[in-house]
A and B are shown apart, each in its own frame.
Chain A
Amino acid sequence: MGSFSTTTSTVLGAAFVTAALALPSLQFANAEAPPERGVVSFKYLHYQESQDIVSQTGSNTNIINTVSGASSVAASGSSGSSGSQDRIGVNAYSVGALVPVAGKWSLGTTYTSDSVSGASPTYHSSGLTSMKDLRRAVDVQLTRYFSRGSVSFGTSYSKETDYISREFSVQGSLSTEDKNTTLTLGGSFNNDSINPINSPAIDETKKVTTGLIGVTRVLTPQDIVQLNFGYSKGTGYYSDPYKLNDNRPRERNAVTALARWNHHFDDNGTDGTLHLSYRYYSDTFGIRANTLEAEYVQPLYKGWTVSPLLRLYTQSEADFYVSVGSAETADPTQPTPPPANAVYYSEDQRLSAYGAVTLGLKVSKQINKDWLVDVKYEQYEQRAKWSLYGSGDKGLTPFKASSIQVGVSRQF
């Protein structure tokens, strides 16, 4: 542990030394400009997930316990031995504002209200427990623009019945004189409090520190690329108190590498823009993940724009993930016990190996120079057999979700 911390700080130190070394070789000027106009935005989200029911005779996977969760409600759900069943549903709205201040500053803030209800599995995809909770979150970001870059300070606060999250962040960016290369450095600190309603004795915390370094580069008048490298170090309570057989390590460190490329099609007359991104993720739980995303933004007549998107995701399972056992395969109401000698174990399917596909479409309309409205629909599906890391957990059935967002924004 001690040697790891030392090595980590060496690595982080190297990052800053590298950044510092890079600085003198670059001449910075006007990295970013403050927004010329203020904007107020509103967005509504409806999200609904479902999971296929394991076809069984003589058993019922729809047994719903109203034991835990933020507050118990009578859960609804179709019963039967085939088809799919609704899980968590979310209705959320968000209001955001960005205001230029005194020519050199901007102040941004967002308020989000997130109403979650439905049924959540206690182990793998069975043992459904109804839950209902309301999450409220607010964040504020203050940015100072300099002739040679910008610095942002941010804070956010999020509260649920059983979970409070507080965060502070700082991010700075510097550009070369020709504004074709921008270096970004950022850091944040998260301090969360966890008080599960089903286990009042658990009075826990989770602290996560994140660092990020990135380079953005203009390649041509139609191409811009970005490479971000992130590291996060977390300690505290990572287990899920609402699941059976869930005991996770108290430390989780992760690295991310994100490459993004925006290309504009000028020459062939489509006037469209392609967004491509790839992210690699790796953490000390043993999860490796690859995310590939493509979105194409096509402007049409009279301010209309359509943007189809495709997202492909795959992850490996956590080292301590416990697959669906034979007894549970035979009868999904029977939880699989963790291996006898296991210290860490979890049956959370989010820690299993799987692949996922998202298809989406966003349509927006610029009504006039002030008003913009948009609608976005996304369909998401996770399947164990789509994992590029092994065969996945064959005991898990496909998990699906769909979401719709409706937004409006007004510039001032």
Chain B
Amino acid sequence: MGENNCSQHSGRKKAGRMNLFSKEKQSIGEKTMNREIIKKSCYALVLMSMLGLSGCALGTAVQPWEKETLARPEMTFEGDKLDNAFTEHIYSSKEGASGGAGVGGGGCGCN
């Protein structure tokens, strides 16, 4: 990973000097992880494109006059925007994982 890992922070500089092998090990570990992520990304992409391409074949086509229930607010994925914003903000500041539902919303210094 980047050579600048050891810049900016004196603690980091010191640690970097202490054992170069450890840094090497970390770097290899991260590369393996990156490969794993890319592999999973590819699987997900294949799945997504299959879903997209076979969209019309998935289930029987629902007709417009059958969509009264689907139009109800509780059947949408958006939900209560202010509620979602508060809830996601709390989880992203208390847990390691975050995101997934959409883009936008902004960051904060809480995590």
Binding site for B on A (CB under 8 A): 1, 4, 7-8, 11, 14-15, 18-19, 21-22, 25-26, 41-43, 45, 47, 49, 90, 92, 94, 96, 110, 112, 114, 116, 135, 137, 139, 141, 154, 156-158, 160, 162-163, 165-167, 169-171, 176, 178-181, 183, 186-188, 190, 192, 194, 202, 204, 206, 208, 210-224, 226-232, 235, 237, 239, 247, 249-251, 253-258, 260, 262, 264, 266, 273, 275, 279, 281-287, 289, 291, 297, 313, 315, 318-320, 338, 340-345, 350-351, 356, 362, 374, 376, 378, 380, 382, 399, 401, 403, 405, 407
Contacts and interface: CB of A to CB of B under 8 A. Distances in A.
| Most A-side CB within 10 Å, residue of B26, B64, B87 | B87
Contact of B38 (A7, A187, A206, A220): A7
Contacts of B22: 341-343
Contacts of B82: 41-43, 94, 96, 110, 407
A318 B45 CA distance: 26
A374 B80 contact: yes
Contact of B100 (A169, A181, A258): A258
Contact of B99 (A19, A218, A232): A232
Contacts of B52: 18-19, 22, 26, 181, 183, 215
Contacts of B42: 11, 14
Contacts of B87: 378
A351 B94 CA distance: 9
Contact of B75 (A45, A202, A273): A273
Interface of chain B, main secondary structure: helix
B100 A284 contact: no
B53 A25 contact: yes
B48 A229 contact: yes
Given A4-B34, A255-B40, A162 B109 contact: yes
A139 B106 contact: yes
Contacts of A382: 94
B104 A141 contact: yes
B24 to A, nearest CB: 9
Nearest to A403: B90
Contacts of A213: 45, 48
A169 B75 contact: no
Given A11-B38, A255-B40, A343-B15, A315 B51 contact: no
The list of the 4 closest CB pairs from A to B, nearest first, reads A163-B109, A156-B106, A181-B55, A289-B97
Nearest to A399: B94
A92 B69 CA distance: 34
Nearest to A186: B103
B100 A230 contact: yes
19 contacts: A1-B2, A11-B42, A41-B82, A43-B83, A94-B85, A135-B110, A137-B106, A180-B62, A181-B58, A188-B104, A208-B107, A216-B77, A217-B51, A221-B68, A256-B100, A257-B100, A262-B76, A287-B97, A343-B15
Contact of A156 (B1, B102, B105): B105
B104 A228 contact: no
Contacts of A163: 108-109
Contacts of A202: 8-9
Contacts of A92: 86
Given A41-B82, A247-B12, A350-B96, A229 B2 contact: no
Contact of B102 (A167, A208, A212, A345): A212
A405 B69 contact: no
Nearest to A376: B83
A315 B96 contact: yes
| Most A-side CB within 10 Å, residue of B29, B49, B96 | B96
A189 B63 CA distance: 38
Contact of A282 (B15, B30, B40): B40
B105 A344 contact: no
Given A218-B62, A249-B5, A4 B31 contact: yes
A289 B41 contact: no
Contact of A220 (B49, B62, B74, B107): B62
Contact of A264 (B33, B75, B106, B110): B75
| Most B-side CB within 10 Å, residue of A157, A215, A285, A320 | A215
A336 B21 CA distance: 23
Contacts of B53: 22, 25
| Most A-side CB within 10 Å, residue of B6, B44, B72, B98 | B44
A265 to B, nearest CB: 10
B107 A167 contact: yes
B70 A224 contact: yes
Contacts of A264: 69-70, 72, 74-75
A217 to B, nearest CB: 6
